Structure 1
């Protein structure tokens, strides 16, 4: 017998206002200017769990699975893309009848297990799944151009093909499924409002192609972009599964794919690293950014994000925009990219924090059952719109929105005199002291959480300890500390307003927010980056709360670049990606500042030449105050 998923919001959560962020003072009792008493390093937080009330049993499998390989689907320009169709079966034969359909689009080759976005879990429970190689990848002919307008149009057309009454296995109702690339193209497809689409469930989707991943803060992502482009290239030059039956077509597809590596992947990397057009934001990235079209989505959406994911920034933004217009929910966990994507596809990466129920496939099933099978599910409707993991407590608070309505912003100002190995102070009082010199250390960042995060979680598998302790890296720059004497809860985007100077024309700031335990372990909660020459601020597009810019927006265009005035302090606003955590009593809240974040980021050649050898001074006197804006939970 199927059990219902039940959850009752506690009074404090049920009473949350749906209004925007409100200003609130930082609880003075939470912070102390005195050093905390020495304590032993606390034991590791046990695996995070969802509340036990959420652990409802999913309906059981009732079918086997059969697959029809390499179905050719004709697009409006005449190109025939390749799809596999998975159908419910018994006794090795497809069950007759019409079923709701799940559509997935992958650039990672539909023939490669673990990368092909397939879900036997859903097919076994009465769904047909169509998995298509996007144009120029896997078995599909053409040249891959990474989410360009033609590929986006293909997404609309495959949904309408799958929902057509001409498909004898389709009841006309379609949902979209997939993680990462298979999550972001759900939004790009749904924004075109294809006939038959009823719901989407994007897992770790990108929001902004430039700001989320390619050019964080204005430098180029060396940790993930070559890895990703290389993976697409490598999986696209595998012989198509139809090589034996159609060797001529397979050879033609492979020729397109191999030639495209130089035309697209290598050209893109060279342009970005040499300081060409791809090093800056512009139409190329705007066209490929789901945030530019998300307001056109008109179907229910369940977004899953990771707080240490490469798309950590964009996921909550997508949810915010979706929640204004359609039924939407948001799950924001403590995952890297692969840790979040794996469970969504029925696989688990090492290091994934335990989820004793419901698993992501169960949540997906309930979501699709509700909107594709029209099965009433009051318990699903009663789930809070937002569940996020709170780092430091191991709990999953509920909220009616993101950031939670109880979030308010307060500035902590930099004070004292910091130097490498000697902390400065954070204070709720007046700025004082400085300026402090952060030396030019372009290779800083190697032993930090950034290395794991921006290799999608791969670097974290080696167990070096760098993912959970930044203390050695902190010695390569400046840190500013404030002891915490009452639990300090943070949830939302963070920003830093720094007055800085340099003898060079350019430079880069890396700003980390860290939780320092009594034993000295510095756990990075989040970070942000900003190239000095790209500091121009668009105040109209920046988010302001309580008189503070809490989410700065920079154009990052070639036209917006301006060199630094030599040795003269200027204000620079650094967008720091969202945080969700609690700083416990006896711990220390730290802001750490360095001039690099390698191997995550590397400067394009012209930018590097303009930065070589020069450190950055951080000013924080009364005339040039510097501060960090924190999202504090009331």
Structure 2
């Protein structure tokens, strides 16, 4: 991606788009490189140009004016084509007019859709105060759809779909849950499910790799004067002032509260209001969920799909080997589903336009996912009946640089120390993932160097391929020399040549070890996805020298470890630059030495979802 500059921001376009979850170019610019669907389905050709009307005012029920760009199919002379068309609504906080970003999907407009791109309240060219998925912003989503659906729009036939990436994927769930008139389908690309657990405070520490930069991006983009300021100075000035007020009333206090260990450091009403998993049961329109195995929202994406499927909503799930930055323009070669744009068009044609597509069900399976270490696979669901629980016990003696063992049989007793190394995680795939792909450094895709400052256990060379599909529980019996610390867990594939590939990870603050078993997931009677409340009331410091069971939720993955490879788990106390302890936790964990105990009394183990 060529470097560009946002006005008033000293960041490159690649970094900005990483934070926004968007490609530097419009989705229509991606290469048509993927293998065609099995049925031979082909996308309709482009039959229109694009005519754009900027900053159209959309008045909300409380009187606040939001601004939207309206992209319409155009005739050869560039003027809007006559007639009414189905409408695609996209909502963004990143300033739809910001240089270096593009929210337009010309591919859809050229094939007979109108796209409405709205700056959410308090961002871009819209008035009001931003509060990131707050109740009023959620209501705005419903009202924008109904505005686009209305017969008062001469370009709308009343059928509406939702489309967007990252933030523009998350808000689709809040909009759809309110059942706005005219809404027929949605296509969220890399949405969060539970914003606290997925990204803000994974394991109970604050995301320092992405969240501050993300809030900074929204703030910076919001301080770019609206394009209409030249013709409407009063309106442009009012919007700018609203954005300044929002920065002082929302962004600054939110970060401050989390870092100092106040309310925003814990899960509670603030995060629950903003989590799609809290409203997904009210979503009834057909939904195509796209996730990434190295995405910021790796945890929540399959959970959203599973809930929709369980509720009987027509849905599909695509999970690929990409970061947040790569998702919307991802290479789908070998997946046999077409390009991402073709998938969006096909989904919208079927469910918004109402075009018959009998081959859709056979071409695009319930789940299409890329196995890390292998290739594209399909499944009748996420974690179908062919997935079973398999357990490996920690065994032997592990020291930094010398792994202990992972065994299926009775373990050898031991107590292995995990020392505090504040640079742990710096050169890993985790660092790339949790900066949305901005810190992708090829040499750091080998976790071997990082493992040398951690404590590891690994299997003997595998006698057959091991296929994983789902979340993992690292159940570790732990003691600590200090009242608190964090366990950062890497699940890895060690090749015969010594290359170490990180497959997925999980994190858990020791004082937040309390479990809510009613919301935890089991497989074959074994705990495989622990759920921790992460509230102040359930936080209990460690007692020095006392062993406690710590269940670390390791985020879901699809991967295969080939015959002759080894499965490794590495434990550390830090994951830099991803996570930062709130200040009270820094004090409680300073200089901590954590010990992992494994024996018959303390059966530390991994519980894995193995696909047969």
TM-score, length-scaled by structure 2? 0.92
Change (3 A) 1:225 1:398: same
Aligned partner of residue 267 in structure 2, secondary structure: coil
1:7-50 Cα offsets, whole Å, 9 max, x none, are xxxxxxxxxxxxxxxxxxxxxxxxxxxxxxxxxxxxxxxxx965
Distance in 1 between residues matched to 2:276 and 2:102, nearest whole Å: 21
Distance in 2 between residues matched to 1:118 and 1:585, nearest whole Å: 45
**Match for residue 22 of structure 1?**
none
**Contact between 2:334 and 2:376, CA under 8 Å: does it hold in 1?**
no
**Match for residue 474 of structure 1?**
451
**Contact between 1:64 and 1:124, CA under 8 Å: does it hold in 2?**
yes
**Match for residue 159 of structure 1?**
145
**Match for residue 44 of structure 1?**
none
**Match for residue 50 of structure 2?**
65
The CA deviation at 1:396 is: 1.2
In the alignment, does 2:166 pair up with 1:180? Answer: yes
**Match for residue 620 of structure 1?**
598
**Contact between 2:34 and 2:339, CA under 8 Å: does it hold in 1?**
no
Match 1:317 to one of 298, 303, 309: 303
The CA deviation at 1:331 is: 0.3
In the alignment, does 2:392 pair up with 1:392? Answer: no
**Match for residue 43 of structure 1?**
none
Change (3 A) 1:370 1:260: same
The structure whose RCO (Cα within 8 Å, separation 6+) is larger is 1
Match 1:529 to one of 486, 504, 507: 507
Aligned partner of residue 554 in structure 1, secondary structure: coil
The CA deviation at 1:55 is: 6.6
**Contact between 1:56 and 1:357, CA under 8 Å: does it hold in 2?**
no
**Contact between 2:90 and 2:118, CA under 8 Å: does it hold in 1?**
yes
Aligned partner of residue 156 in structure 1, secondary structure: helix
**Contact between 1:106 and 1:116, CA under 8 Å: does it hold in 2?**
no
The CA deviation at 1:381 is: 2.5
Distance in 2 between residues matched to 1:268 and 1:55, nearest whole Å: 50
The CA deviation at 1:198 is: 0.1
1:177-226 Cα offsets, whole Å, 9 max, x none, are 10000001011100111000000000000100100000000000001101
**Contact between 1:404 and 1:491, CA under 8 Å: does it hold in 2?**
no
Aligned partner of residue 217 in structure 2, secondary structure: helix
1:232-260 Cα offsets, whole Å, 9 max, x none, are 11111111010110111111111111232
**Contact between 2:34 and 2:338, CA under 8 Å: does it hold in 1?**
no
Q: How does 1:580-591 map to 2 (within 5 A)?
A: 580-591=558-569
Change (3 A) 1:50 1:354: closer
Match 2:394 to one of 410, 414, 419: 414
Distance in 2 between residues matched to 1:354 and 1:279, nearest whole Å: 42
Note the residue ranges of structure 1 that are not aligned, 5 or more in a row: 1-47
In the alignment, does 2:423 pair up with 1:443? Answer: yes
**Contact between 1:163 and 1:171, CA under 8 Å: does it hold in 2?**
yes
Change (3 A) 1:396 1:49: farther
**Contact between 2:39 and 2:359, CA under 8 Å: does it hold in 1?**
no
**Contact between 2:328 and 2:340, CA under 8 Å: does it hold in 1?**
no
**Match for residue 7 of structure 1?**
none
**Contact between 2:138 and 2:175, CA under 8 Å: does it hold in 1?**
yes
Distance in 1 between residues matched to 2:41 and 2:489, nearest whole Å: 41
Distance in 2 between residues matched to 1:625 and 1:426, nearest whole Å: 12
**Contact between 1:109 and 1:116, CA under 8 Å: does it hold in 2?**
no
In the alignment, does 2:542 pair up with 1:564? Answer: yes
Distance in 2 between residues matched to 1:625 and 1:282, nearest whole Å: 32
In the alignment, does 2:56 pair up with 1:76? Answer: no
Distance in 1 between residues matched to 2:337 and 2:413, nearest whole Å: 51
Distance in 2 between residues matched to 1:84 and 1:314, nearest whole Å: 30
TM-score, length-scaled by structure 1? 0.89
**Match for residue 233 of structure 2?**
247
**Match for residue 429 of structure 1?**
409
**Match for residue 22 of structure 2?**
none
**Match for residue 465 of structure 1?**
443
Match 2:73 to one of 88, 106, 111: 88
In the alignment, does 2:206 pair up with 1:225? Answer: no
Distance in 2 between residues matched to 1:156 and 1:115, nearest whole Å: 25
> What is the root-mean-square deviation of aligned Cα atoms in Å?
1.5
Aligned partner of residue 408 in structure 1, secondary structure: strand
Instruction: Count matched residues.
Output: 576
**Match for residue 329 of structure 1?**
316
In the alignment, does 2:115 pair up with 1:129? Answer: yes
Match 1:519 to one of 497, 503, 518: 497
The CA deviation at 1:550 is: 0.4
Distance in 2 between residues matched to 1:234 and 1:296, nearest whole Å: 34
**Match for residue 9 of structure 1?**
none
Show structure 1 runs of 4+ deviating over 4 A: 48-52, 352-357
The CA deviation at 1:115 is: 3.5
Distance in 2 between residues matched to 1:267 and 1:137, nearest whole Å: 18
**Contact between 2:59 and 2:65, CA under 8 Å: does it hold in 1?**
yes
The CA deviation at 1:410 is: 1.3
Distance in 2 between residues matched to 1:565 and 1:548, nearest whole Å: 27
Aligned partner of residue 537 in structure 1, secondary structure: coil
Distance in 1 between residues matched to 2:506 and 2:35, nearest whole Å: 29
**Contact between 1:512 and 1:524, CA under 8 Å: does it hold in 2?**
yes
In the alignment, does 2:338 pair up with 1:358? Answer: yes
Distance in 2 between residues matched to 1:190 and 1:357, nearest whole Å: 26
1:352-380 Cα offsets, whole Å, 9 max, x none, are 98878611110000100001111100111
Aligned partner of residue 541 in structure 2, secondary structure: coil
**Contact between 1:108 and 1:116, CA under 8 Å: does it hold in 2?**
no
Aligned partner of residue 299 in structure 1, secondary structure: coil
The CA deviation at 1:176 is: 0.2
Change (3 A) 1:592 1:327: same
Aligned partner of residue 229 in structure 2, secondary structure: coil
Note the residue ranges of structure 2 that are not aligned, 5 or more in a row: 1-32
